Structure 1
Amino acid sequence: MGQPEVVLGVGGGIAAYKAAELLRRFTESGHAVRVVPTASALRFVGAPTWAALSGRPVHTEVWDDVDEVPHVRLGRAADLVVIAPATADLLARAATGRADDLLTNVLLTTRAPVVFAPAMHTEMWEHPATRENVATLRRRGAVVIEPAVGRLTGADTGKGRLPDPDAIFEAARRVLARGTAGPDLAGRRVVISAGGTREPLDPVRYLGNHSSGKQGYALARTAQARGAEVTLVAANTALPAPAGVTVEPVGSAEELRTAMRRAAAEADVVVMAAAVADFRPARQVAQKIKKRDGVEPEPIALVRNPDVLAELAAERRPGQLVVGFAAETENVLAGGRAKLARKGCDLLVVNQVGGGLAFGTDENEAVILAADGTETPVPFGPKEALADALWDAVSQRWSPA
């Protein structure tokens, strides 16, 4: 089996220089890349740069090597097409089926998955015309990554910044891995919690847990690659934000509860993957609790935190799916089944933790329990594999029988 063929289309924006790093990521990971820059893109980065980094000739015009019919051949040969940066003009031309340069011809002839990574000023991204063009492309099956928030051209700051090239590469890699399966979550709004809450005891100490957030982030990355609009409520994580995912940081269980209930109001599926503390100190001390010689510390009284998963399940809108996670140390399946019934959610992912399992690792093993009684074992493997298995279960519940 040969190298995967990737067409990297480069739009005419200042962020074109970042596409050089994206190109390097593809080539260093074993992908064969053809770079197709627009005429405007060549004003920012010249063809010799693209040829040197890709190790292949750069086509810029439909009139180059006419005998090879490049406007058809490139699209047909591609296993993946990535457009970065995708300017407002390029999104508009793609959405309306224009074929006025080599890149838009490639977009019309390819049957491979297409990923757009937009970059533009905030006002352009928020304009109704751009939003309609993005919706059209997503409806047709393309993956349009939400732009990042940050410094734009000049002194401007806002949403419209090209996501980090590493993050674009990871998102594109996941789309390529799915092949022709397509973005089955396109048009869906997904809300995911990740990480572990911390309940303050004093200004220095807290009650917490060992959750790293890796499983929740894997869920966010895979959902985005499958076309969903993803909001990630992240409790005390130190992981890079996935490309195209809106991340809302929180600290305590109450903060997570507020963020999840607000985001769930517009969501099609809500996934509670975060490890939420069951208890919090009854009293938060204003100053650091100090050790005093010969004096034993006062016992710490605890009170229950709200049951966020049960609340979300009870408040869900018609058609909305609610998914929970259960971390068990013993009697894993029995505990999971009891929790599924008690919480009232549609799906529950139950896994064993402790002894180096699940928390902080890159692998997981679980069983997906459904309210209808079905059980889907997911063997030990990368957390992304478990995430895809869960999205398969979700997608099946939206598909016609």
Structure 2
Amino acid sequence: MTLRQRRILIGVTGGIAAYKICELVRRLRDLDAEVRVVMTEGATHFVTPTTFQALSGQPVRVSLWDEAGEAAMGHIELAKWAERILVAPASADTIARLAHGFANDLLSTVVLATAAPVYVAPAMNQQMWANLAVQANVGTLRTRGVQVLGPADGDQACGDIGSGRMLEPHELRDILVASFGGQRLRGRRVVVSAGPTYEDIDPVRFIGNRSSGRMGFAVAAAARDAGADVTLVAGPVALPTPQGVRRVDVRSAREMHDAVLAAANGADIYVGAAAVGDYRPAGAAAHKLKKTDGEPLRLELTENPDIIAALAASPTHPFLVGFAAETRDVEAYAREKLARKGLDMIAANDVGGGRGFEVADNALHLFWADGDVALPSAPKTALAHQLMAHVADRYLATHGPRP
């Protein structure tokens, strides 16, 4: 992969994770990218501008009041020069200022003045990340089209453990690479299903599963970054819709079946990332079921329609990517499902021991008829971009570019 002649501006803010951006700049330069760095005053307490100047080969800007840099409106020049802007690490303070449109330092001014896609990689204490004010500011940025990368879960410099770690440099690099190669699916229609399905027992209770929908939503965003026209069919989850993605909300497996088949009519690619319930109650009670004084409650279950099998039965079906969430014999079950359902590719993951569901990270093993590749554990946002890169490879190998 290469980023030859691609122009990337990195905004470094005050946080201990700033030291990791040295590696990111080096990795981007190794791919022949042109990199410029803007630092906040706080960032200079963690890494010196001289370090970034040596790694990038370009002068580093810190102050909006740099007479030499601003003699020709340098902040506007930087905003126009950049093809991508990544703020990393993005502190809680910087996220707040970007969300509220402040322009009181060089970095915030450049972000306001640019037409380039903007990415932020949050890095902060887990309690700060969970704070409602921070989450509201992050939500504001997302609604404005800013792409929020991570954060990941794990050990933190303060000694806490939880969500708030900045994504690793290689993960940020891969997302930036994918964003440029991301127009490989321009003009293609992609349908993604995500989240769980709920099957009602009565007006109060239901049968469901632990899917959070994060992986499917990340896949939809990655497909959008790949230039595709994306429809996301979502089960009952509390996640914001990725900017630029068409969303259809459903609740039950039968609703998802109908919505996917309608959306996939004429589509080029379908990615079935939803955790669809295999069974539903044969009949939902009209009123809340009461306790039976110690007597067992027996539910009769009936099988739900198989969405991806229904698509595969059509002679004009899209390129089909299935998911296999297993707790044992992952490869064997995935290969069997790939063949039995006539899929073009399957993404298998081990969900035993608390993995896969209700967590920010995941790992996948992709299989197709004559090959496979393992994608190691990474935040779902980064993993989704890697998955869609492989989907694009396989799809274009068999279908070729659009005439």
Q: TM-score, normalised by structure 2?
A: 0.61
What is the alpha-carbon distance in structure 1 between the residues aligned to residue 12 and residue 190 of structure 2? Answer: 28
Where does 1:22-37 land on structure 2 (aligned, <5 Å)? 32=38
What is the alpha-carbon distance in structure 2 between the residues aligned to residue 267 and residue 275 of structure 1? Answer: 21
What is the alpha-carbon distance in structure 2 between the residues aligned to residue 366 and residue 70 of structure 1? Answer: 42
Residue 379 of structure 2 corresponds to which residue in structure 1? 382
Distance 1:227 1:115, change over 3 A: farther
TM-fit CA distance, 1:383: 1.6
What is the alpha-carbon distance in structure 2 between the residues aligned to residue 285 and residue 182 of structure 1? Answer: 48
Where does 1:96-107 land on structure 2 (aligned, <5 Å)? none
TM-fit CA distance, 1:181: 3.0
SS in 2 for 1:399: helix
Distance 1:203 1:333, change over 3 A: same
Residues 1:166 and 2:170 are matched in the alignment = no
What is the alpha-carbon distance in structure 2 between the residues aligned to residue 362 and residue 70 of structure 1? Answer: 35
Show CA shifts across 1:5-28 (max 9, x none).
27xxxxxxxxxxxxxxxxxx9968
What is the alpha-carbon distance in structure 2 between the residues aligned to residue 196 and residue 276 of structure 1? Answer: 6
* Contact 2:179/2:226 (<8 A) preserved: no
What is the alpha-carbon distance in structure 2 between the residues aligned to residue 213 and residue 247 of structure 1? Answer: 13
Distance 1:298 1:191, change over 3 A: same
Residue 311 of structure 2 corresponds to which residue in structure 1? 312
Residue 319 of structure 2 corresponds to which residue in structure 1? 321
Q: TM-score, normalised by structure 1?
A: 0.61
Residue 97 of structure 1 corresponds to which residue in structure 2? none
What is the alpha-carbon distance in structure 2 between the residues aligned to residue 188 and residue 57 of structure 1? Answer: 46
Percent of paired sites with the same residue = 39
Where does 1:2-17 land on structure 2 (aligned, <5 Å)? 5=9
Residue 212 of structure 1 corresponds to which residue in structure 2? 212
TM-fit CA distance, 1:166: 2.8
The two structures, once aligned, show a CA RMSD in angstroms of 3.6
* Contact 2:328/2:352 (<8 A) preserved: no
Which amino acid in 1 is paired with 2:316?
R
What is the alpha-carbon distance in structure 1 between the residues aligned to residue 315 and residue 65 of structure 2? Answer: 54
What is the alpha-carbon distance in structure 1 between the residues aligned to residue 8 and residue 347 of structure 2? Answer: 34
* Contact 1:202/1:287 (<8 A) preserved: yes
What is the alpha-carbon distance in structure 2 between the residues aligned to residue 360 and residue 32 of structure 1? Answer: 36
What is the alpha-carbon distance in structure 2 between the residues aligned to residue 332 and residue 326 of structure 1? Answer: 8
Show CA shifts across 1:257-291 (max 9, x none).
01100100132101111011111111110011101
Where does 1:2-401 land on structure 2 (aligned, <5 Å)? 5=9, 32=38, 56=64, 75-76=80-81, 78-80=82-84, 114-115=116-117, 164-167=140-143, 168-170=145-147, 176=176, 178=178, 180-294=180-294, 296-315=295-314, 317=316, 320-370=318-368, 372-399=369-396
SS in 1 for 2:313: helix
SS in 2 for 1:292: coil
Distance 1:291 1:365, change over 3 A: same
What is the alpha-carbon distance in structure 2 between the residues aligned to residue 79 and residue 32 of structure 1? Answer: 15
What is the alpha-carbon distance in structure 2 between the residues aligned to residue 178 and residue 376 of structure 1? Answer: 17
What is the alpha-carbon distance in structure 1 between the residues aligned to residue 354 and residue 227 of structure 2? Answer: 33
TM-fit CA distance, 1:317: 2.1
Show CA shifts across 1:276-332 (max 9, x none).
1111111110011101325x14421111101111111222626x3111001111111
What is the alpha-carbon distance in structure 2 between the residues aligned to residue 344 and residue 179 of structure 1? Answer: 30
What is the alpha-carbon distance in structure 2 between the residues aligned to residue 228 and residue 209 of structure 1? Answer: 29
What is the alpha-carbon distance in structure 1 between the residues aligned to residue 13 and residue 231 of structure 2? Answer: 31
What is the alpha-carbon distance in structure 2 between the residues aligned to residue 73 and residue 360 of structure 1? Answer: 40
What is the alpha-carbon distance in structure 2 between the residues aligned to residue 283 and residue 69 of structure 1? Answer: 67
TM-fit CA distance, 1:214: 0.9
Which amino acid in 1 is paired with 2:302?
V
What is the alpha-carbon distance in structure 1 between the residues aligned to residue 140 and residue 189 of structure 2? Answer: 23
What is the alpha-carbon distance in structure 2 between the residues aligned to residue 71 and residue 238 of structure 1? Answer: 38
Distance 1:74 1:208, change over 3 A: closer
Give the total of aligned pairs: 281
Distance 1:282 1:170, change over 3 A: same
Distance 1:175 1:79, change over 3 A: farther
* Contact 1:4/1:32 (<8 A) preserved: no
Which amino acid in 2 is paired with 1:80?
R
Distance 1:396 1:285, change over 3 A: same
TM-fit CA distance, 1:56: 2.8
* Contact 1:171/1:243 (<8 A) preserved: no
SS in 2 for 1:251: coil
TM-fit CA distance, 1:186: 1.7
What is the alpha-carbon distance in structure 2 between the residues aligned to residue 28 and residue 228 of structure 1? Answer: 36
Which amino acid in 2 is paired with 1:328?
E
What is the alpha-carbon distance in structure 1 between the residues aligned to residue 392 and residue 356 of structure 2? Answer: 25
SS in 2 for 1:184: helix
Which runs of 5 or more residues in structure 1 are unaligned?
A: 7-24, 34-53, 59-63, 83-105, 108-113, 117-162
* Contact 2:189/2:228 (<8 A) preserved: yes
Show CA shifts across 1:221-276 (max 9, x none).
21122222211111011112111111211100000001100100132101111011
Which amino acid in 1 is paired with 2:199?
E
What is the alpha-carbon distance in structure 2 between the residues aligned to residue 373 and residue 390 of structure 1? Answer: 17
